[in-house]
Amino acid sequence: MRIYATIVYLFLYIPIGVIALFSFNAGRHASQLQGLSVKWYGKALDNPFVMDALQTSLVVALISATCASVFGAMAAVALQGIKGPVRTAFDGLIYIAVMIPGIVIGIATLIGLVTLFDQLNPMIAAIWPDGFKPPKLHMGIGSLVAAHTMFLMALCIIIVRARLSGMDRSLTEASSDLYATPMATFRQVTLPLIFPAILAGFLLSFTFSFDDFIIAFFVAGSETTLPIYVFSSIRRGVTPEINAIGTMVMCVSLVLLITAQILLRRGDKQAR
């Protein structure tokens, strides 16, 4: 049993380990280890395409994770107190957002927004004062943020709601028995208790957005995110540079994930 578990853990971590090991390869060939060096990290960080893609990914991840965690938390708090058709509608929306494959969300956003922009662009041009170049709506960072936020909002609602339902109800009851206004109860009791969940939602959303390939592939327009850059490089062949980028991306994800895990566990203990 123990041997079996060890084998499965090796299966899970050897591929990651191999990538990390070969990212330190001094040689030019991806698959022959010829001494260790960090030169491919330098090469990757010097590559303007990589840095551009990294910047786009970071901007998109930051904005969409912020919007998703704030709006998601707001919705989760409101949903906790209501029943009836609105609640059912939101449950349905969250279910659809999570169930529909990412690729279909990407496609739907692409053709939905392109169709909308085709309608809007002539209208904007018509009302724009003569002599000025009218702005043209197109796919890019904006559409990417909008699509990511939609999906991640569903994730954040689920996370915050799990925390809210695990919360000891007597805390808020005690607060209102002691004549706190609903607002004061929210600020001093509920918010501190759900804050770790909101933060964890933010971190998971950030990781997801940063790592997402399939939605970005459809809706990024002419923008390149880091996963799109990595994907197109892989199709051109395996290089030590990709190993270095991959290792860096993994490390960033790991740090964020472990922080999120710690936050969720600590919060669980507090709420009880």
Site for other proteins in 163-182 (CB under 8 A): 182
d(CA 268, CA 272): 7
Question: Which amino acid would we find at residue 255?
Answer: V
Write b or e for each residue in 108-124: b if 16 or more Cβ atoms lie within 10 A of its Cβ, otherwise e: ebbeebeeeeeeeeeee
In a 3-state reduction of DSSP, which class is residue 24?
A: coil
- The size of the interface with other proteins (CB under 8 A), counted in residues, is 83
Compute and round to an integer the Cα radius of gyration of the chain.
23
Single out the residue of 97, 137, 141, 199 in contact with other proteins (rule: CB under 8 A): 97
Q: How far is the CB of 157 from other proteins (least distance, A)?
A: 7
d(CA 12, CA 22): 17
Single out the residue of 103, 124, 125, 174 in contact with other proteins (rule: CB under 8 A): 103
Q: How far is the CB of 216 from other proteins (least distance, A)?
A: 11
Residue 146 contacts other proteins per CB under 8 A: yes
**Structure token pair of residue 147:** 């699509």
Residue 65 contacts other proteins per CB under 8 A: no
The stretch among 43-51, 91-99, 131-139, 169-177 that binds other proteins (CB under 8 A) is 91-99
Closer residue to other proteins in complex, CB, 157/193: 157
The stretch among 29-37, 45-53, 173-181, 187-195 that binds other proteins (CB under 8 A) is 29-37
Note whether 253 and 211 are within 8 A (CB): yes
Residue 137 contacts other proteins per CB under 8 A: no
Residue 122 contacts other proteins per CB under 8 A: no
Q: How far is the CB of 44 from other proteins (least distance, A)?
A: 13
Closest CA to 210 of 171, 161, 245: 245
In a 3-state reduction of DSSP, which class is residue 4?
A: helix
Binding residues for other proteins restricted to 191-220, rule: CB under 8 A? 200, 204, 207-208, 211, 213-214, 217-218
Residues sharing a CB contact under 8 Å with residue 210, sequence separation 6 or more, in sequence order? 57, 58, 61, 226, 249, 252, 253
Closest CA to 160 of 257, 79, 73, 66: 73
Q: How far is the CB of 136 from other proteins (least distance, A)?
A: 17
Binding residues for other proteins restricted to 41-60, rule: CB under 8 A? none
